[in-house]
A and B are shown apart, each in its own frame.
Chain A
Amino acid sequence: MTSWEKKQFFWGWLFILPTMLGLIILNIVPMFQTLYQSFFRTGDFGKGNVFIGLENYEKLIHDPEVWQSLFNTFKYAIVEVPLSIIIALVLAVFLNRKMRGRSIYRTIYFLPMVVAPAAVAMVWRWLYNSQFGLLNHMMHVKIEWISNPHIAWISIAIIGVWSAIGYNMVLFLAGLQEIPRDYYEAADIDGASGPRMFFNITIPLLSPTIFFVMVTSIIGAFQVFDLIYMVMDETNTALPKTQTIVYLFYRYSFAYNNKGYGSAIVMLLLCVIILITVFQMIGQKKWVHYN
């Protein structure tokens, strides 16, 4: 190694060290601790854990609540991910043109991202309230938005979409700026229509960004917790049909004080997310164009 390479090596590592440390301490070590803990029946206050092998996983396989929650999570993701991507993409394309008040619109759409998720959920909880909620009041109906098992999961997903649009939009805007104007000018001269340009130029050239947003959105959707926790009460009849796998993990780990089983549940989620991400990585070869 030449001295230049050594220097590069040294400074390179030095610059990523803070992030690496954060990742190791906050993510990677706890990940293995969780895996380890999932083989134990945990004692009070983290003391006196008893090794029980695969017992937690055995219970997990036969627990209908777990599979129902996993199904609920899928339902949530299927509504939340496509909607938040499509709406954000359309908004980004419109807000990428020259128009008056563009910055204001961009800021408005991004604002939900700045608000604490718990506050967002609290506001929506009251909007949705069947007795005193603004939504029912304005529409003169009595819909039980968050306690009817058939629609509660959609109501929750709507909050998710609303809070995710702004962030996705900014990512798409950044991606759109990378596309050279020449393509559009050439297409314009050839007489291509707006939608045609969108599908034949914008989408293919934006596909790396779309792919990134999709992977992170899906992972985010599978990890949704705060919305359910803040919006749904424990006695809500719609809870069994709405609670996600992370919510279940929280209940077992912190409310029921059964951290071992909670860890097993979250390991299941990890496997599901890894599987989905692997499929996406394979699938991307078919539709993502890196220049």
Chain B
Amino acid sequence: MKKKLVALMMTVIMAGSMMACGSSNSGSAGSSANGASQTSSDVTGASSDTAAATGSDPLNVVIWDSNQKAGLQQICDEFTAKTGIAVNIEVKDWDSYWTLLEAGASGGDMPDVFWMHSNNAQMYMKNGILLKLDDYIKNSTEIKMENYMPEITELYTYDGSYYAIPKDYDTIALWYNKTMFDAAGLSYPDATWTWDDLYNAAVKLTKKDGSQYGFCMNPSNDQDTYYNMVYSMGGYIVSDDHTKSGYDDPNTLKAMDYVGKLVKDACPDPTTMSETGTDVMMESGNVAMIMQGSWMVSGFLQNDYMKKNCDVAILPYDKTTGKRASICNGLGWAAYSGTKRPDDCWKLLEWFGSKDMQLEQAKLGVTMSAYQNTSDQWVNCTDVFHLQPYLDETTASTGDAQNELVLRPYTYNSTVWSGAAQTKLAAAWADPSIMEQTCKDFATEMNQDIANENK
């Protein structure tokens, strides 16, 4: 009896440990291969070893957006075919991506090539985590930094040196459900819409029985939703010199008051929104409008409901300021300064940044590209959605409104306050009457966070 029990326990434990082994093997296949290449190559003769390592071990690339993986894999496959350097792309979710990078940077074991984001690029550049690209760029025929959108290049420049090759840029637009608008007898959103029009339509599209809501936004929808409202109404999140919070600015408060109104009158319960993302709510036909970034397009293209019922419009503008603002951001391709194969890494960065591949990225519908004048290709990547509004935001004006591209607000280490904002604002989402006080309180806290940065 006892033996049987022990045997059962042993079996289960063994099965468990085998499963654990199995998963860790598959998960870290890339990193262990990379580890092997590191031990085989000498620290001092890293570049001379490159030739030996080439072709045998894949370069380890880590990104956070699974929607982009297929397209980027294709670009990488072409790279492998041309150079013989294998590339292994691994996708992490946003949170664990930064935990991984941070831990990797502290412990000295990073992926070879990865994405950099304006949120904490400053911190990575200052601490010498990223490979300095100046010399490579000087000797390259493919890469000329002036070919990329200057805003994006600026994000990854520190002390006059370049640390990443601009990959893409993104803007925000309004997604709407045509079927719901038709059913309510409302005309589709267009360039004449102000924020008041959006509010009125959203309220009309909200059904009392909870089966349909006009709009959807969670405190985590900062860059894609409420930041745009704030800047459009003349407020700001971070001052231009990146030292002060704008959450207590009167115009910001005005915008946040509008946010509160919208949440209260036309959005699902804040609790529901905190459990289910706006994209899922839209895809499942629960909401009539959301604001989303251009990076979501490739994901939406895989959803049949979206393809059948939804389309894209330009963001509304503010009547008082006459301004339409879209937050804009761009990622950069960066390499680890401690990589054992800097030359191979550079070849890959150069490949990603070359005009052909930037065009390819746009054509495949991965994202808009940071290389100037390549984004028309992206608009044409599908005829299901009209993607032109994403591009219109980058022009000087549309209709009566002045268009303004605003770089996603950032400081030295934005993760701290942008994360805290989400948690703090959740209370104001639940009870919009405390919105003003919450924002004012948070401004104090955020100023403290910024003051503590970079000490």
Contact = CB atoms under 8 A, between A and B. Distances in A.
A131 B275 contact: yes
A110 B12 contact: yes
A19 interface: no
A130 B455 contact: no
B192 interface: no
Contacts of A236: 271, 274-275, 426
A239 interface: yes
Interface stretch (A208-216, A253-261, A262-270, A279-287): A253-261
B219 interface: yes
A55 interface: no
A106 B415 CA distance: 46
Interface stretch (B59-67, B199-207, B416-424): B416-424
A33 to B, nearest CB: 13
A116 interface: yes
Interface in A30-47: 41, 43-47
Contacts of A132: 276, 284
A146 interface: yes
A223 interface: no
Contacts of A50: 455
B299 interface: no
A240 B423 CA distance: 9
Interface of B is mostly: helix
A130 B413 contact: no
A254 B15 contact: no
Interface string A172-191: 01100100000000000000
A144 B275 CA distance: 9
A200 interface: no
A255 B272 CA distance: 24
Interface in A184-236: 233-236
B99 A107 contact: no
B105 interface: yes
Interface stretch (B2-10, B75-83, B137-145, B379-387): B2-10
A114 interface: yes
Contacts of B12: 107, 110, 113-114
Contacts of A235: 218-220, 273-274, 422-423, 425-426, 429
- State which size class the interface on B falls in: 35 or more
Interface string A115-152: 01000000000000111100000000000101110000
Contact of A234 (B271, B422, B427, B455): B422
A116 B275 CA distance: 22
Contacts of B127: 44-45, 47
Contacts of B422: 234-235
B276 A257 contact: no
B284 A233 contact: no
Contacts of A114: 12, 15-16, 19
B220 A173 contact: no
A237 interface: yes
B419 A237 contact: no
A129 B281 CA distance: 13
Contacts of B5: 170, 173-174, 177
A45 B105 contact: yes
A254 B99 contact: yes
B129 interface: yes
Given A47-B127, A234-B419, A148 B271 contact: yes
Given A144-B269, A237-B426, A45 B420 contact: no
Contact of B416 (A239, A240, A256): A256
B133 interface: no
A2 interface: no
Given A235-B218, A239-B426, A257-B102, A44 B123 contact: yes
B415 A256 contact: yes
A107 B12 CA distance: 8
A103 interface: yes
A45 B423 contact: no
Contacts of A237: 270-271, 274, 426-427, 429-430
B271 A130 contact: yes
Contacts of A251: 419
A113 B13 CA distance: 9
B411 interface: no
Contact of B1 (A148, A177, A258): A177
A130 B218 contact: no
B9 A257 contact: no
B179 interface: no
Contacts of A131: 268, 272, 275-276, 281, 286
B23 interface: yes
B320 interface: no
Contacts of B426: 235-237, 239
A15 B139 CA distance: 59
Interface in B21-75: 23
Interface centre among B12, B15, B16, B19 (most CB of A within 10 A): B12
Given A107-B8, A170-B9, A233-B220, A257 B415 contact: yes
Nearest to B416: A256
B106 interface: yes
A63 to B, nearest CB: 13
B209 to A, nearest CB: 12
Give the 4 A-B CB pairs with smallest separation, nearest first: A147-B271, A46-B106, A236-B274, A114-B16
7 contacts: A103-B8, A110-B8, A131-B276, A144-B275, A147-B274, A174-B2, A258-B416
Interface of A: 41, 43-47, 50, 103, 106-107, 110, 113-114, 116, 129-132, 144, 146-148, 170, 173-174, 177, 233-240, 251, 254-258
Given A43-B455, A238-B271, 7 more contacts: A45-B105, A110-B8, A131-B276, A147-B272, A170-B5, A174-B2, A234-B419
